[in-house]
Amino acid sequence: MPFQHRGIAHVTLIFAMSLLMNCTWAAWERQTPADAGIDAAQLAALDKEIAGGQFPVDALLIARNGKLVTEKYLNGTAANQRLPIYSCTKSITGALVGIAIADHKISGTDATLGSLLPNLKLPADKSAIKLENLLSLTAGFKWALGSDDRDMYQQQDWLNYVVNKPLVTEPGTRFVYNSGVSHLLAAVVQQASKQDLLTYANTKLFGPLGISDVNWSSDPKGIRAGGFGLELRLPDLLKIGQLYLDQGRWQDKQLIPESWVATSTTKHIYSDHDDMNYGYQWYIDPKGRYFAAFGLGSEGHRMLAVVPDKKLVVLLLGHFSGPSQARDILEDYLIPAAQ
């Protein structure tokens, strides 16, 4: 009967709309590389290197001028697959700090660790560490990359593990890569916002970006892992880069203060660990061409890079020999390709 037919059609329409809403990558407007001013010869040269095994790439997404121009999924990766982004989580945690400051939940980057997390009952020297020291990974704690991360992961109280490490440098003077410090940032935002960090992120960041398929692991105390715990779909992670390229603005709404984007992607310290500069939870190319987030875990490397002068956002996944190989692809092929 007609009523039944209309009902079926209505259900079908709702189901189709639901699928479209869940396919967050469909939100990207697309453009051919040629129309975006991307040199086809450069991309072809890169494709040849990938096919030949020179670059073990698992996925490559490129956006230019806010439009998706390249989307390659290899070795089992897919657009609708949620993947761990590892230490790229740090850049999102840093964004949430900036949002919390704009919300007047945190007074500013001069706020001290003792005032932000009073329940830790820190000694005076550690209590005086400033929020800006946490953001720039210059808190001064002794930290052995790898072993301390594993040891922290085994603890019931990650925060106490981090702050009980000795101070070996004056805060603000030396970069030390430390996922535990980024975890302190997650705790700061949870404490200041009085809500779960993922709930805050969904309201202030992921929701407005149309990102719904998210997982964020927590420590045993229920604090989201600020240094490495996020899983996202790759087209959604690309949106974070686009948001930063557009100075924190998404579809006419200012999600992150423009001033926070600027200070986060400005050099605050030099990282001899990576031979790059470091801002607030973002790496910065020493030549000033781009800023980037890097991640490494059991499923390989991740690099989210933003090239402001070229209006370019790049997301690259692969089992590389190190972050420098991902940077080689960006610097030798993709930046030159953007005419």
Looking at residue 174, which CATH number applies to its domain? Answer: 3.40.710.10
For the chain, the domain total comes to 1
Q: Confirm whether 327 is domain-assigned.
A: yes
Query: What is d(CA 162, CA 142) in angstroms, rounded to the nearest whole number?
Result: 9
The H or E element that residue 328 is part of is: helix 323-329
pLDDT of residue 307 exceeding 70, the answer is yes
pLDDT for position 13: 34
Q: Structure tokens of 61? A: 């997404």
In-domain check, residue 15: no
- Residue 3 domain flag: no
What number is the average pLDDT over the span 117-141? 96
Question: Which position has the token pair 């805050």?
Answer: 200
Q: For the segment 21-41, what is each residue's pLDDT rounded down to a tens digit?
A: 334 444 799 999 999 999 999
- Structural domain boundaries, residue 296: 62-337
Residues 231-265: tens digit of each pLDDT: 999 999 999 999 999 999 999 999 999 999 999 99
Residue 272's pLDDT is 86
Does 116 reside within a domain? yes
Residue 29 is assigned to a structural domain of this protein: no
Residue 212 maps to a domain: yes
Helices 179-193, 89-102: crossing angle, 10 deg rounding:
30
- 81-128, pLDDT tens digit by residue? 999 999 999 999 999 999 999 999 999 999 999 999 999 989 999 999
Whether 7 is covered by a domain: the verdict is: no
pTM of this structure: 0.91
Per DSSP, the three-state class of 81 is coil
Asked, for residue 314, whether it belongs to a domain, the answer is yes
pLDDT higher than 70, residue 225: yes
Half-sphere exposure at residue 72, Cβ-oriented, CA atoms within 13 angstroms: 21
